[in-house]
Structure 1
């Protein structure tokens, strides 16, 4: 990660759990193709500009941060920017120097839709990165055509590269994803307990994983296994 100007330092950090290996995408599924497309982007064998979109909770932020982790492991310079948290800043100043980086990831793109200064700044950043032979990864809840953008030139640019829709998981896949994440934490999460959690919590995978982290900490503190009574006590569900 590069250092933002001191006056713009917002404590932008990557989640250590956000890796491609931790993203539930079984082989030969659509989401597995998306992950491969992002890996190809980083190695230079794929498209340099990638646009991801999908419903809330489908894992867009996870994939952007996973791409950053992967890029860093390859010695590439990267910057992840959650635009939702940055709309109060001057975009031209925030973007200064980003065109020298190997990978720029812009999350929550709809947050700046309808803001002429931001739209123009992203349009200029796109062109600068393209001229420098760098990579851009963008995420939004809508496809480029559905974004409420005022600058049509920006919409056109966003459609130049690859566009992937990230598919949300069904309940069975969410159970598998939750159990996979539990194993990565060294937790044993049986089918019955996993089903209990999914049936009683919001289906958003971000929420499920956050609650799993709570269970992990409680299990470690109390030296307890993940049983339904323990889960019910910790999560009050």
Structure 2
């Protein structure tokens, strides 16, 4: 964490036991040539490095669309730029006391909150995030929010928070087509240092869970098994390792 805060009481990034995936980068976020996500990625890269003056961005999309990947990619860039930040996946933190989690975050350059839809039906979390939003705005810091629903689609008890969430920029991530998922698998395999034949990628797509998170998990499992067995990744090898 860059030491740009005024007090030693400022919370340290990732002090909550939260870690970033090494492969959650902008470089390996797949974008097709006609992908509407390209504009979003470009804006987030500028946002992460502090080159965009926007204070708040709300990113949403269905599971596997890449919301979590991009939030973590933002944090990777922020870290490289020497900015202080905190990534908060509410899926891991929602049972904690919200005031404890968000205390002092307004001193950081950037706060990324994932799984925001989990605050539905949790008024304490809604109140804590409402006050955090205001503190971040007043201190000129940046906030990016990730969720499965749009701001208007969230069922919140706190009307003021509902209003705040609609103040910043809002973007929906569009899911990949089947052809794009095959291309994404092959791109990810090349980044991992091996070539995945198209027929093998097609086989995985049509037999494994179809969301990109699950597909990339299968690819990671195959990569480890291939290295251990010193074998190429073929359809028979996929059948053996993944049992599909």
TM-score, normalization by structure 2: 0.92
Secondary structure at 1:144's aligned position in 2? coil
Count how many residue pairs are aligned between Structure 1 and Structure 2: 234
| Aligned: 1:86 with 2:90 | no
Mapping of residues 1-237 of structure 1, within 5 Å: 3=12, 10-27=16-33, 29-42=35-48, 43-237=50-244
Matches of 2:79 and 2:182, distance apart in 1: 30
CA contact 1:37–1:46 (8 Å) conserved in 2: no
Deviation at 1:82, TM superposition (A): 0.7
- Identify if the C-alpha distance between structure 1 residues 100 and 136 changes in structure 2 by more than 3 Å, giving closer, same or farther: same
Segments of 5+ residues of structure 2 without an aligned counterpart are 2-10
Partner Cα distance (1:27, 1:45) in 2: 24
Partners of 2:149 and 2:193 in 1: CA distance: 36
Deviations 1:22-65 (A, max 9, x none): 11123452111111111122233242200011111111110110
Q: Which one has the bigger helix percentage?
A: 1
SS at match of 2:37: helix
Gaps of 5+ in 1: none
Shift of 1:4: 6.9
- d(CA) in 2 for partners of 1:178 and 1:47? 33
What is the RMSD of the two structures over their aligned residues, measured on CA atoms? 1.5
Q: TM-score, normalised by structure 1?
A: 0.95
Secondary structure, in 3 states, of the residue corresponding to 2:57?
strand
Which residue of structure 1 aligns with residue 7 of structure 2? none
- More displaced 10-residue stretch of structure 1: 19-28 or 199-208: 19-28
4+ residue segments displaced more than 2 Å: 1-5, 26-29, 42-46
Residue 202 (structure 1) shift: 1.1
